[in-house]
Amino acid sequence: MSIATEASLETQAIPRPRKRWFHHLYLQVLIAVILGILLGHFYPAVGEAMKPLGDNFLKLIKLMIAPLIFCTVVHGIASMNDIKSVGRVGMKSLIYFEAMTTLALAIGLIAVNIMKPGGGMHIDPRTLDVSSIAAYTKAAHDQSVVGFLSHIIPTTVFGAFAEGDILQVLFISIIFAFALQMLGERGKPLLSVIDAGANTFFNMVRIVMYVSPIGAFGAIAFTIGKYGVVSLSSYGQLLLTYYLTGLVFVFVIFGAVCRLAGFSLIAFLRYIREELLLVLGTSSSESALPRLMAKLEKLGCEKSVVGLVVPAGYSFNLDGSCINMTVLAIFIAQATDSTLSIGHQLTLLLVLLLTSKGAASVSGGAFIVLAATLSSVPSGRVQLDPHANSCCSGSLKE
């Protein structure tokens, strides 16, 4: 049954008064985004001052993500009779994640080589000021596969919740769920409490979403006010390359996956349109996580599958970030007139297959992973090091 059909049946089963057009959340967010763009463009200083609105909205969302993931994962796994099915779901998810991120990296690599957005810029690396990225490159020095795997295990149980690290919370939740499931009947009262907790946090999300248009307005007004629309014109081809590649990935690759799974991509995108606009307005995918989980459960997906796959996908299936990282890496080489052979590009892709999995676990993750990956390419590396005499140590030429 398609998503559109299920949504239709659900509407027929539960008669509801017809909403006026301005009561729809996605329209409210869209109007807020448009107003934020206009404010940031015509009154940049005022737009920049709207930053706290977006920041505080994201704080409201993030404070609920960790306990929501914990309650959903624990209840979903601990209430399953066949515990082996959890392992099967997890294994299938990891295989799917790896396949999709590989395709995303490959498509980004092909697109940037075809469109060549950095060609003709002829930038001398020695003229670049990299002091503004010092915070990112400092974190990049610590980014490694071993470091990422070690980071999954939190120092303390409460530390994972305090920092809001999705992977650490997911790690604790899975272990706790298996331990609770082993208690059998003795664990049922605690399981009921956890289920009630999940429903309570979902209700909290519903309350917070009433102010989402204000958060989207503040976030987009700040972005446009600080960086401007005109400032992006010189990098228009880079943006065009990225967005065209993203559209191809969504409608061709993901569309094919949807057809194989037996539902319509267009119907699904229509179903989550509010979450898509929220991500657009706040520039943060985390803002849509709680509502996305709730909507998937509403469609009939098992709570255990939703609780395990969606949070894990936020760390292991960052397709947009993967496209962004390959496009930017080759763009830098093209802009600085550096030459990357096919072998070097394939090496870059292989390294990104591993390092991209840690992009969600740190602030500014995609940029940090990109910096760490470029420093790992075994050919006269690009090093975004603010303490060096130039942005690049040597060039990418052999």
C-alpha 357: how far from its chain's center?
A: 11
Residue 318 CA to residue 34 CA, distance in Å, equals: 27
What values do phi and psi take at 382, rounded to 5?
Answer: -85, 125
The Cβ-side half-sphere exposure at 127, using a 13 Å CA radius, reads: 5
The Cβ-side half-sphere exposure at 108, using a 13 Å CA radius, reads: 31
CATH 1.10.3860.10, applies to 3-374: yes
Q: How many residues does the chain have?
A: 398
Q: What are the boundaries of each domain within the chain?
A: 3-374
Model confidence, pTM: 0.64
379: left (phi > 0), else alpha (psi -120 to 50), else beta?
beta
| Crossing angle for the helix pair 25-42 and 212-227, to the nearest 10 degrees | 30
**CA-closest candidate to residue 254, choices 397, 100, 134, 97:** 100
Question: The tokens 């956890």 sit on which residue?
Answer: 194
Q: What is the pLDDT of residue 271?
A: 92
Q: What is the pLDDT of residue 346?
A: 83
Mean pLDDT by 10 residues, the chain (398 residues): 46 51 75 90 90 88 84 81 74 88 90 84 62 50 60 82 80 89 88 89 86 89 77 66 90 92 91 85 76 87 82 79 84 79 80 63 53 54 41 36
For 330, the token pair is 């080759």
